[in-house]
Structure 1
Amino acid sequence: MGKLAQIKDGLVNLVANLGTPRDKAASTFYGLPMLSEQEAENAYRGTWLARKVIDIPAMDSCRKWRGWSADQEQITAIEAEEKRLGLQQKVLKAMIRARLTGGAALYIGTGQSDPMLPLKPESIGKGGIRHINVLSKRVLQAGELDLDPESPGYGLPAFYTLSSGTAGQVQIHPSRLVILHGAEKPDPEFGISDGWGDSVLLAISKAIKDADASAANIASLVFEAKVDVIKIPNFMSMLADKEYEQQVLQRLQLAAMAKGINGTLLLDAGEEYEQKQAQFGGLIDLLMGFMQLTSGASDIPMTRLLGQSPGGLNASGESDLRNYYDRISSNQELVLQPSLQVLDECLIRSALGSRPAEVFYNWRSLWQTTDTERATIGKTTAETIKTISETRLLPDEVMSTVAVNMLTEAGIAPGLEAEMLEYGKASPQESTGEDDDEQRAAATPQPNSDSED
């Protein structure tokens, strides 16, 4: 009697071979995909779909940038410092390189002679950041990992080595770098990581190749859309005669010429002619199916990836875009903002000369409101201000400040905050207790003396 295999769990059907070693799916396994850096760059430079997959999330992460919360003069100084350093553009450039090759970094240049020393933001004075440079993974090699469990940098490279043509090998402390990864690698402690991530194209290259191959095959099929077929008696046997071959070619040229001139095809009674046409029905649906897979793999909605209007009944694409913008916002707050933490602390000190505790920033929303939505928001904000004001719970000066903040944050009155600041400087008012008493007395209704009589 044969030995029965012990079946512990899972769906098993011995007749259909499901769940058994003879199941066709039993041979399916996941192998490590291979995508060299050169192949990734070739795809980025030569394929529009790969370029969009790399550029769109990076550009959307930096497009609206961030809004600082501080005094107007402080905000102006910080934004001017960002503009001087070209921070927004360099973060975008570094993110594109990181997504394409697996990693990139921003070097915080402070003019200190030894870049291996840790960068302390509290040592940065006004104008302390001299420059910010983008370093690619190709010229910046990660050193050995810090595996000290008591170290705050556990699991991260203890240093980075810059290959410089003039200075040779320069070691840089990680605090002087803003490290950006492409796709994170699992378990760097096991030695499968080189201190950087994977290219974003690694996991989705198959979907991109399938979409590109489908488009290329459909394009080739266009040349075969209409094929003329002429059947000639004894054609193959007569081709042995070279003179007959020339006669056939002349005959076909004459037939094509006659058809091109008057639309009439002259044939011998023994010859047959037919026309075969390729059927393109369903090919567009097939191609869009592959594009949909690429869209899902890259986590970019079709309306953003292809720039096409959404299909389907009552489809607007609004929910897809909102989900996509939420993902971009999550990446900004959970990945990009922690990476920029040291740089931001240095940036504030370089712009202001100190670090006010009340200075912070928020990433601006990517969602663009329509004119109707802005009008509705403006009306609601104005009604809210009016309701709060009528309660008389807040002093007029406080209510004025609150109203300016509400209108500014809602985007209803751009520049209102700056104008109010200028107005306050131009017409200073010193309030005294007597003035307040006179104002309250003037606002209080006086009883009519005639009615009392």
Structure 2
Amino acid sequence: MSKRRNTRRTRADTTQASTATMDAFSNPAARIGFGTMDLLQATEYPLTRMTQNYQLLTSLYRDNWIVQNIVATIPNDMIRKWYEIRSGIAPEYIDQMARLERTTQLRKKLLTGLCWGRLYGGAVGVILIRGQNDMSQPLDLDSIMPGSFLGLQILDRWSGVYPESDVVTDPSDPDFGLPDYYIIRDETTGQTAVRVHHSRVIRFIGRELPWLEQVAEQYWGESELEAIYSEVVKRDNVSGNIAALTFRANVNYLEADGLDQLLGTANTEMQRRFWNLMQAQAIMESNFGTRIINKGDAMHNVQYTFTGLADVYDRVMMDVAGAARTPVTKLFGRSPAGMNATGESDMRNYYDYIDGLRETDFRAIIERLLPIMALSAWGQIPDDLEIDFPPMQTPDAKETAEIAERKTNAILAVYQNDLIDSATAQQELQTLTEETGMFGKITDESIEAGRGQTYSSSRAMQDPLMGLELPREPASGNEGDFE
């Protein structure tokens, strides 16, 4: 019974494997759809792995200003608004941390790492600690002395950094599944300079890849230019063709009788004289705007119109910006065109994207460096040490005033309906300080004094007749009767 069941399963598997599933639209008579001789069906997407072409990526970066903007714009915006430390430490400690960042040029080093990671798909920042020469050992925070943090050494993936094949197997490690060690070689001699443990390395990569492609790229990411390359090529060709058309904006041509006979049957001397005449005419026209022709010959002028070229260029430019995930205003340095085009929605979406990158990618980098920097600057790590990123898009003075007015009116409306007391209303107003810059002078004593005081009770205390009993009016029909 078991043997018969296994045989039946084997036959079913064989039948299923040999049967092709055709669940696509196809119209062979019209040559439309799957399997037909259609131009769309001839489209292919070969796996090129352009990220491994160092010469091409470097040439694009050095030659093309749009590529330079694609590489550098997003990293610049990611670090433009620096992180803020959320802790109960004294302000002088914040100044010491800022001084350490300036001394080690931390911002510049992180910007460089982010840029090379986007360009080549991978880069590293080796953490430098004074007195720790054996970099093959895991980084021990207890061994970091005050003033020992020396910054980062940034190396892109083509500068002699080679991940080893062994990966981190501890699931609790932030680098789980990534290389355990990195070999740094001297590219001039080819010898290994140092073997670095992964805990001493900050990784910068471009676009994330599936697992098998990560392995193919030696655990690096994909260059940003690989997904944008075709759009950049289209834009450069369109721009070059538009520039070439300007030379043909105004073309003169001459009707000459017997020109075909002159060029076909005349001797070499006559042709040479004809060409000399044409050359002299061109010089005269360039210098004096005059051309002398024989009587009976005709001179014509053809002017090229550039109508529609601007629209074509704008569409190509928008495709490049979309592929780069960067607004046209940021990438090309020009204002949006068209009726009612302000670009505000594009910039809002872009800043939301940058805020997301800072939380998903940049936070992990800062949180790895922050304990090392705290030990180097302060000698200790505060228990409540946290960081926060201020939003990229902040309202202007007019928008801030409108926000303050609307939120204040909402709080007052709730308070005047006796739904909250004065203390709660003041606390709600106090929370608007960071957003609006107002109500920062509300003290804790004022809040405590208003605890339990509603709007009606405060109005009652201001009414001098409250609590006094007014004389009652006599009942109708009994005026003047007292018992």
- TM-score (norm. length: structure 2): 0.76
Tell me by how many angstroms 1:47 deviates.
Answer: 0.6
Distance in 2 of aligned mates of 1:101 and 1:189: 15
Which of 267, 281, 289 is the aligned partner of 2:307? 281
| Cα deviation code 1:118-157 (max 9, x no counterpart) | 1133443432313322122222111114174767444211
Residue 221 in structure 1 maps to residue 213 in structure 2: no
Is 1:410–2:435 an aligned residue pair?
yes
Name the CA distance, whole Å, in 1 between partners of 2:362 and 2:340: 36
Report the alpha carbon displacement of residue 294 of structure 1 after superposing the two structures with TM.
0.6
Contact 1:146 1:157 in 2 (8 A): yes
The alpha-carbon deviation at position 61 of structure 1 amounts to 0.7
Q: How far off its partner does 1:286 sit?
A: 1.2
Pick from 378, 397, 408: which aligns with 1:352?
378
Once the two structures are superposed, what CA deviation does each residue of 1:74-133 show, in whole Å capped at 9, x if it has no partner? 322322222222111111111011111111111211121211111133443432313322
Match of 1:30 in 2: 45
> What SS does the aligned partner of 2:193 have?
strand
Report what 2:184 is aligned to. Answer: 162
Distance 1:188 1:172, change over 3 A: farther
Measure the CA separation in 1 of the matches of 2:410 and 2:94: 27
Q: 1:182 touches 1:197 (CA, 8 Å); kept in 2?
A: yes
| Structure 1 residues 58 and 6, CA gap change in structure 2 (3 angstroms) | closer
Partner letter of residue 103 of structure 1? G
Distance 1:289 1:392, change over 3 A: closer
**What is the deviation of 1:385?**
9.5
Looking at structure 1, the residues matched to 430 and 231 of structure 2 have their Cα atoms a distance apart, in angstroms, of: 50
Asked if residue 207 in structure 1 is aligned to residue 226 in structure 2, the reply is no
Q: Counterpart of 2:257?
A: 233
> What residue is the counterpart of 2:69 in the other structure?
52
The separation in 2 between residues aligned to 1:79 and 1:385, in whole angstroms, is 38
CA contact (8 A) 1:180 1:339 kept: no
- Tell me: CA distance 1:263–1:190, structure 2 relative to 1, closer, same or farther (3 Å): closer
Quote the offset at 1:271 in angstroms: 2.4
Check if 1:129 corresponds to 2:116. no
- Find the partner of 1:393 among 423, 430, 437: 423
Q: Which amino acid aligns with 1:13?
A: N
Deviations 1:254-289 (A, max 9, x none): 544665677554322342322222231111111111
Supply the distance in 2 between the matched residues of 1:90 and 1:63 (Cα, whole angstroms): 14
Given the alignment of the two structures, is residue 17 of structure 1 paired with residue 31 of structure 2, yes or no? yes
Q: C-alpha distance in 1, partners of 2:346/2:214?
A: 38
SS of residue matched to 1:290: helix
Q: Does 1:140 align with 2:155?
A: no
Report the Cα distance in structure 2 between the residues aligned to 1:213 and 1:43, rounded to whole angstroms: 14
Do the aligned partners of 1:69 and 1:75 also contact (CA within 8 Å) in 2?
Answer: no
Cα pair distance change 1:379/1:286, threshold 3 Å: same
Structure 2 equivalent of residue 306 of structure 1 = 332
Task: Name the SS of the counterpart of 1:161 in structure 2.
Answer: strand
SS of equivalent to 1:340: helix
More displaced 10-residue stretch of structure 1: 209-218 or 21-30: 21-30
Change (3 A) 1:263 1:17: closer
Bigger drift between 263-272 and 115-124 goes to 263-272
Q: Give the letter aligned to residue 275 of structure 2.
A: L
- The whole-number CA distance in structure 2 between the counterparts of 1:163 and 1:302 is 41
Aligned pair in 2 of structure 1 residues 90, 258: CA closer, same or farther (>3 Å)?
A: closer
C-alpha distance in structure 1 between counterparts of 2:407 and 2:140, whole Å: 43
Q: 1:190 deviation in Å?
A: 7.7
Listed one character per residue, the Cα deviations across residues 356-400 of structure 1 (whole Å, up to 9, x for unaligned) are 122211112221422312333455677799999x9442799xx7x
Paired residues of 1:33 and 1:203 also in contact (CA < 8 A): no
Question: Hey, what's the Cα distance between the residues in 2 that align with 1:393 and 1:278?
Answer: 75
Report if aligned partners of 2:161, 2:183 keep a CA contact under 8 Å in 1: yes
1:81 has 2:95 as partner? no
What does residue 433 of structure 1 align with?
A: none
Work out whether 1:370 is the aligned partner of 2:396.
yes
1:410 partner letter: E
User: Is contact 1:182-1:200 (8 Å) kept?
Assistant: yes
- Percentage identity across aligned positions? 27
Of residues 117, 127, 131, the one that matches 1:108 is: 127
Contact 1:145 1:155 (C-alpha < 8 Å) held by counterparts: no
Sort the Cα spacing of 1:125 and 1:303 in 2 relative to 1 into closer, same or farther, 3 A.
Answer: same
Letter matched to residue 248 of structure 1? F
Distance change in 2, residues 1:47/1:290 (3 Å): same
Could you say which residue in structure 1 is the equivalent of 2:211? 187
Which range moves more in the overlay, 84-93 or 13-22? 13-22
Q: Which amino acid aligns with 2:165?
A: E
CA shift digits 1:388-416 (9 cap, x unpaired) = 9x9442799xx7xx978753x23638xx8
Instruction: Kindly indicate whether residue 200 of structure 2 is the aligned counterpart of residue 176 of structure 1.
Output: yes
> Does structure 2 retain, via aligned residues, the 8 Å contact 1:98–1:180?
yes
TM-score (norm 1): 0.80
Kindly provide the amino acid, as one letter, of the partner of residue 75 in structure 1: I
Matched letter for residue 133 of structure 1: Q
Q: Distance in 1 between matches of 2:286 and 2:103?
A: 67
Change (3 A) 1:125 1:393: farther
Unaligned runs of 5+ in 1: 421-443
- The structure with higher relative contact order (CA 8 Å, sep 6+) is 1
Report how far residue 250 of structure 1 moved. 4.2
Structure number with greater Rg is 2
C-alpha distance in 2 between matches for 1:34 and 1:412: 51
**Structure 1: distance between partners of 2:254 and 2:27:** 54
Q: Which amino acid aligns with 1:292?
A: M
SS at match of 1:29: coil
Q: Hey, what's the Cα distance between the residues in 2 that align with 1:382 and 1:22?
A: 67
Separation in 2, partners of 1:151, 1:361: 22
What secondary structure sits across from 1:273 in the alignment? Answer: strand
Q: Which moved more, 1:136-145 or 1:28-37?
A: 28-37
- 2:110 alignment partner, one of 75, 81, 91: 91
Shift in alpha-carbon separation, 1:317–1:395, aligned structure 2, 3 A: closer
Tell me the residue number matched to 2:6.
Answer: none
CA separation of 1:284 and 1:347: change in aligned 2, threshold 3 A: same
Q: CA deviation at 1:227?
A: 1.7
